[in-house]
Structure 1
Amino acid sequence: MKSTLRVDGLANVRDLGGLERKDGTVTPKGVFVRSERLEQVDSDGWQALHSHGVRTVIDLRRPDERTGQVPTTIKHIHVDLDGSDETDFWAQYEEDGRWGTPLYYLAHLQALPDRLALVLNAIADADDGAILFHCSAGWDRTGLVAAVLLRALDVTDDAAVADYLMSFTNADAMAELHERSFEVEERQQILGRFGHTAESAFRDMYGNLDLESWFSESCIEPETRVAIETWRGAAASPRPV
């Protein structure tokens, strides 16, 4: 069963535990949490996260986006997943709107493998305890990292898609909490121009996410690969390690 998590100040938060894997098992709870920006989290919210086991927060946003504070009891790591200085890569995706959809994920992994490698290294090197990773909406950059982690444990396509679509389900609550639009209709229109729905775009990307090849080509350290493919030792790897 999908793990639920309620945190004051977050509307797009969830534990990635309880998702069905292809071998019939489920992902372990209390290892990875995904969310949107943390600025609205109050003391009760931080206590809920701490009680859930969160001991590390990884902020995936660009340097000029970073705001808010994290309690001293939780380690705070910043990793620019986008690669904000990679203007040549981003120009086409920003121009046509694909930057806010899964339609850029595979190209990003291929063209900028060092960016994901930084995130995975941070995950592997983190202190014991659950890791919360987030961007601004907890949707796109967070969705890319979540997709990689779910693929690493061979989470089924249906379960991975359902997790991604939860951000659409949570969009109204996010808009109310953060007092800003998360452009749901615009996202859907952009996807439609490229022949996709939100579901089909993520499903197509996830089905073509060849993590084995990415690991082989990225020259990532073996210890990091093991940490990702076992969810920091919390689960059996779907491949020999």
Structure 2
Amino acid sequence: MRCIDVQRIIPFEGTNNFRDMGGYRTIDGRQVKYRLFYRSDELTGLTEKDLESLRALNIRTIFDYRDDYEAQKKPDPVIHDVINIRIPAIEAHQRPRMNVPSDSESDSSKNPFFIDLIKSGFFKSFRADTTMIDLYTKFPINNPSYKRLMATIQNTDNLGLLHHCTAGKDRTGVGAALILMALGVPESTVMEDYLLTNVTMKEFNRNLLDRLAEHADEAELQNIVLMLEIKEAYMDAALGSIKKTYGDYNTYFYEEFGLTKSKRETLQNMCLT
């Protein structure tokens, strides 16, 4: 894998994983335009200074993959002239298996959600690795959230688009992969963008694990790490699911999203330089 470009990371006081998806090269040698697609973790912590900087990014649409419960706990900011779209990318009964520290009723900075799970013995029997792979396998197939996403990006009036979930790693990771592949970005580069989350979230995850260490044994902590970090195997599961179901990406984009060859070329001409 090529050296990860950390320069695309946009620092905000209230987010950990906000970045521009522009600059990636496509198979035909073109480049994704900057300031069209952004990806992030939750936005509820954005400060006034952050919001001022956000307004300068020319964002017209905020696309949220979270469900009702998550969004009520940590609502997106309402920004003048920005369209907010929220279509859950995961079924509600699966949500507790995700990295959602915002579930806690109390101060989320102390992460009692994880502490409660540890005390209940959840992480002694829960297999994070197999659960995450199963989740990723299901993500790209017949998912109403990604169907809406792919319809949204075909309208130039909706761009720039910021899409996000809670940590900006799983639901957002797959959404970002679909956008980039629709634009003709190769798998290796898609994986590069995906794995950048392990860089952006490294400090946050380390601090969280330090706080949880007094409550969990080593095996439980390793299980939590598998939830917090991302693995190539997870994205491989999503991409493999597409190939197993449809055979190739062209068929997938056409049958899942109605992206004909003509529509895809139009999208690429709009978003590439």
**TM class by smaller structure:** 0.7 to 0.9
What is the RMSD of the two structures over their aligned residues, measured on CA atoms? Answer: 3.6
1:22 matched residue in structure 2: 27
Q: Find the partner of 1:167 among 197, 200, 210.
A: 197
Q: Which amino acid in 1 is paired with 2:59? A: V
2:86 matched residue in structure 1: 78
User: Is 1:131 paired with 2:161?
Assistant: yes
Structure-2 change in CA distance of 1:99 and 1:154 (3 Å): farther
Structure-2 change in CA distance of 1:227 and 1:158 (3 Å): closer
- State the Cα deviation string for residues 136-184 of structure 1 (Å, max 9, x = none): 00000000100101111221233222211111112234458xx856x99
User: Is 1:33 paired with 2:63?
Assistant: no
Distance 2:38 2:15 in 1: 12
- State the Cα deviation string for residues 81-108 of structure 1 (Å, max 9, x = none): 1143xx5xx59x8764358746533433
User: Is 1:234 paired with 2:271?
Assistant: yes
Q: Measure how far apart 1:77 and its partner are.
A: 1.3
User: Is 1:48 paired with 2:53?
Assistant: yes
Q: Find the partner of 1:9 among 14, 21, 29.
A: 14
Structure 1: gaps of 5 or more residues: 192-196, 237-241
2:254 matched residue in structure 1: 216
Normalised TM-score (structure 1): 0.74
Q: Which amino acid in 1 is paired with 2:161? A: I
Structure 2: gaps of 5 or more residues: 99-125, 213-220, 243-247
Distance 1:167 1:187 in 2: 16
- State the Cα deviation string for residues 42-100 of structure 1 (Å, max 9, x = none): 1221221221111211111011100222222322111111143xx5xx59x87643587
Structure-2 change in CA distance of 1:228 and 1:83 (3 Å): farther
Q: Measure how far apart 1:8 and its partner are.
A: 2.9
- Higher helix proportion, which one? 2
Please tell me whether the aligned partners of residues 37 and 134 of structure 1 are also in contact (alpha carbons under 8 angstroms): yes
Q: Find the partner of 1:202 among 207, 230, 235.
A: 235
Q: Measure how far apart 1:41 and its partner are.
A: 0.7
Distance 1:125 1:162 in 2: 27
Distance 1:164 1:105 in 2: 13
Distance 1:159 1:62 in 2: 29
Q: Secondary structure at the match of 1:132?
A: strand
Distance 1:123 1:83 in 2: 23
Q: Measure how far apart 1:134 and its partner are.
A: 0.3
Percentage of matched positions with identical amino acids: 21
Distance 2:81 2:250 in 1: 35
Normalised TM-score (structure 2): 0.66
Highest Rg: 1 or 2?
2
Structure-2 change in CA distance of 1:235 and 1:103 (3 Å): farther
Q: Secondary structure at the match of 2:62?
A: strand
Please tell me whether the aligned partners of residues 226 and 232 of structure 1 are also in contact (alpha carbons under 8 angstroms): no
Please tell me whether the aligned partners of residues 139 and 238 of structure 2 are also in contact (alpha carbons under 8 angstroms): no
Structure-2 change in CA distance of 1:174 and 1:72 (3 Å): farther
Please tell me whether the aligned partners of residues 140 and 174 of structure 2 are also in contact (alpha carbons under 8 angstroms): no
Distance 2:266 2:79 in 1: 29
Q: Secondary structure at the match of 2:11?
A: coil
Q: Which amino acid in 2 is paired with 1:80? A: P
